[in-house]
Structure formats: structure tokens, C-alpha cells
């Protein structure tokens, strides 16, 4: 009896694997088709100056316009895209969308002067990317690349440093994403001379209830300041977080408390309204 049950379990497990593999295969095919159909786009999440609450930049976040399921976040496709080796292609689409939007924001005089894009480690060495960027004549400081701390800087540190140096010559700023949750040593991160560290939301979340966590953020801010690096706090979910993180010295805040990621048109509306609100606040103070 035990044997029979065991065999059933094994069969059920292999059924489960088959279904899983089928889903992965189907999703992979759909991703490839969507790349061909240009169905990847970006949402934009504003970032705010912690003191004035003005928008001081925007992060572009990949979205898949799935033909049946609608807008999908990276969790729905990034791993599978990684296995298919097409993350670089998705990054490229997001960058194109982001650069186009940046020129629209500038033309509309919205006060949004910077866009950050997430870049997979493999893309850092992409000759096509770098030579295309070289032809673009970017305004220095208007584009940042967010690198995940989990990319292994140590194995490839020389090659990474050389690529980053070329990007920096083009006026592209480097930011370390999800800081505090990756495996890289602080030393290897500082060697990249990032412009900003983005403190991961896992570290940011607990600051409200936990004094030790507040001291941790304060120490990170302190280290960053010593090296002339800016701090962005991610996952700022309540107005209480806003006040605490500002008082801890974070320059820039990003999170649901202030704005969610939104499509390009909604961002323009949001930025206009935000400006009106800010002007009203200034008038009230005067
Ligand atoms: P990330 O770069 O750390 O981006 C922040 C993520 O946190 C976004 O999720 C954003 O929607 C979410 N978020 C923002 N504010 C809050 C908040 O207050 N609370 C909570 N709980 N979440 C918040 P999203 O858009 O699902 O992206 C997930 C991750 O996928 C990104 O994390 C980034 O690592 C990756 N990713 C996104 N776009 C791209 C891309 O174009 N290329 C590559 N290679 N990776 C991307
Ligand atoms: Mg990011
Ligand atoms: Mg992050
Ligand atoms: Mg993240």
C-alpha cells in the first residue's frame, strides 16, 4: 500500500512538472511573439525630493502588454525571459520608450529631467547598446542605469568597471538597485562609483516600528554621504515612512505612498496636477 501511494505521488509530481514545463514553454513562446509584435512597454514611477516633495526623476519599469491577460509586471516574465536570453531585448525596448518619454516631458516642460532604467548585467557589455548610446547625444545626468546589487561584480570586476567608465563618459549615472539585499561587498560596490544607492524596500519597510532598523538606514546614509553618493529609499508605503526617511537623510523617496507606477500618459497628467498642488502649498505657506 505504501509503495502504491509512493508511486502515485511520484506520478502526480511528474504530472505537475509536465504542466509546469508546458506553462513555461507557452509563456516563452508568447514572450518571443510579443517581442516581435512590439508588445513590451514601460510604466513610470515618479521619485520625489524628500524635502520639497517635487518630482526629481522617474523610474521606468518593464511591462508586458499580454494579448489576453493585459498588462503584466516583470514577475510574470522576467525569469522566463532570462532563460530565453531575451532580457537584453526587453531592456532595449524599455530604454527606447523611456528616452522617447523623456523628450516629451522636456518638451511639455514638466520639470522631469531624469529617467532611470533597470539594466541586466549582460547588457553592460552590449556593444550595440553602448555604440547606440554614443550616437544619441544625451544630456549628462538625464539617464541612469540601475544595476542589481546581486550581479556578481567580483568575477568580472575589471570588465564591469571598463563598461561603466564608458557609460559614465556618456553622462549616464550608475545606481545600485535593491541595496542591502544582494551579495556584493560594500567595497566592490563603492568601486563602481555609483551616483546613488537605492535602499531596498525590505530595509525601508520596518523603519516605522523598529529603532534598530532606523539606525541601519542612518548608517547607510552616513556611508553614502562620506563617499558623495545619493540615497533613494524604495518602497515608501506610508506618509509616516516619508517623514522618518526624510529625517534620516534620504534625499529621494519612491513608493506607493507618493505614486504608483503608471503608463506614460497618466504620468504626464500626474506631473501636471502634482505641480498645481505644490504651487498651492507654497502659496498657503506664504
Ligand atoms: P526594482 O527595480 O527594485 O523596482 C521597484 C519595484 O517595486 C517595482 O516593481 C515597483 O512597482 C515596486 N514598488 C514601487 N513602490 C512600491 C511600494 O511602495 N511598495 C511595494 N510593495 N512595491 C513597490 P515591478 O515593476 O514589478 O518590478 C520588479 C522588478 O523587476 C524591478 O525591481 C526590477 O528589478 C525588475 N525590472 C523592472 N523593469 C525592468 C527592466 O526594464 N529590465 C530589467 N532587466 N529588469 C526590470
Ligand atoms: Mg529598479
Ligand atoms: Mg529596487
Ligand atoms: Mg527589486
Whole-number pLDDT of residue 68: 92
Task: Tell which residue, 171, 266, 180, 185, has the closest CA to residue 231.
Answer: 180
Q: What distance in Å separates the CA atoms of residue 44 and residue 117, rounded to the nearest whole number?
A: 10
| Complex ipTM value | 0.98
Look at ligand 1, atom 17, and give the residue with the nearest C-alpha: 235
**Closest atom, ligand 1, to C-alpha of 148:** 34
Look at ligand 1, atom 22, and give the residue with the nearest C-alpha: 235
- Compute the distance from residue 68 Cα to the ligand 2 centre, in Å: 27
- Compute the distance from residue 279 Cα to the ligand 2 centre, in Å: 29
Instruction: Give the C-alpha distances (Å, rounded to integers) separating 15 from 26, 29, 203, 255, 264.
Output: 16, 21, 39, 41, 42
Whole-number pLDDT of residue 211: 96
Whole-number pLDDT of residue 186: 83
Whole-number pLDDT of residue 129: 87
Q: What distance in Å separates the CA atoms of residue 208 and residue 162, rounded to the nearest whole number?
A: 40
Whole-number pLDDT of residue 167: 92
Residues of the chain with pLDDT under 70: 1-3, 5, 149-157
Q: What distance in Å separates the CA atoms of residue 29 and residue 33, rounded to the nearest whole number?
A: 6
**Cβ proximity of 67 and 74 under 8 Å:** no
Mutate to test the pocket of ligand 1, among 40, 61, 99, 201 (most ligand atoms within 8 A of CB): 61
Whole-number pLDDT of residue 233: 98
**In this structure, what DSSP letter does residue 254 have?**
-
Strands (E), 196-265: 196-199, 230-233, 252-253
**Closest atom, ligand 1, to C-alpha of 42:** 41
Whole-number pLDDT of residue 150: 62
**Cut 0.90: pTM above it:** yes
Q: What distance in Å separates the CA atoms of residue 231 and residue 145, rounded to the nearest whole number?
A: 15
> Within the chain, how many helices (H) and strands (E) appear?
10, 9
Which residues have beta carbons under 5 A from ligand 2 (an ion)? 118, 146, 177
Amino acid at each position: 500500500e505504501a509503495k502504491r501511494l509512493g508511486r502515485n505521488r511520484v506520478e502526480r509530481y511528474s504530472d505537475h512538472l509536465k504542466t509546469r514545463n508546458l506553462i513555461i514553454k507557452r509563456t516563452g513562446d508568447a514572450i518571443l511573439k510579443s517581442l516581435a509584435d512590439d508588445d513590451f512597454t514601460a510604466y513610470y514611477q515618479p521619485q520625489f525630493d524628500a524635502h520639497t516633495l517635487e518630482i526629481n526623476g522617474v523610474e521606468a519599469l518593464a511591462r508586458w502588454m499580454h494579448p489576453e491577460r493585459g498588462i503584466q509586471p516583470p514577475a510574470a516574465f522576467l525569469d522566463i525571459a532570462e532563460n530565453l536570453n531575451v532580457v537584453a531585448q526587453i531592456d532595449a525596448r524599455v530604454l527606447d520608450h523611456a528616452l522617447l518619454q523623456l523628450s516629451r516631458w522636456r518638451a511639455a516642460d514638466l520639470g522631469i529631467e531624469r529617467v532611470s532604467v533597470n539594466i541586466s548585467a549582460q547588457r553592460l557589455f552590449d556593444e550595440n547598446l553602448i555604440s547606440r548610446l554614443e550616437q544619441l547625444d544625451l544630456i549628462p545626468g538625464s539617464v541612469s542605469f540601475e544595476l542589481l546589487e546581486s550581479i556578481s561584480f567580483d568575477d568580472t570586476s575589471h570588465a564591469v568597471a571598463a563598461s561603466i567608465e564608458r557609460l559614465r563618459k556618456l553622462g549616464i549615472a550608475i545606481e545600485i538597485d535593491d541595496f542591502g539585499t544582494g551579495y556584493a561587498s560594500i567595497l566592490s560596490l563603492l568601486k563602481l562609483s555609483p551616483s546613488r544607492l537605492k535602499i531596498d524596500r525590505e530595509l525601508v519597510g520596518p523603519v516605522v516600528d523598529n529603532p534598530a532598523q532606523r539606525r541601519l538606514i542612518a548608517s547607510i546614509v552616513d556611508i553614502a554621504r562620506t563617499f558623495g553618493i545619493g540615497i533613494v529609499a524604495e518602497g515608501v508605503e506610508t506618509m509616516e515612512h516619508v517623514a522618518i526617511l526624510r529625517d534620516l537623510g534620504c534625499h529621494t523617496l519612491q513608493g506607493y505612498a507618493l505614486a504608483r507606477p503608471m503608463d506614460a500618459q497618466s504620468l504626464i497628467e500626474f506631473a501636471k496636477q502634482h505641480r498645481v498642488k505644490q504651487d498651492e502649498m507654497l502659496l498657503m505657506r506664504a
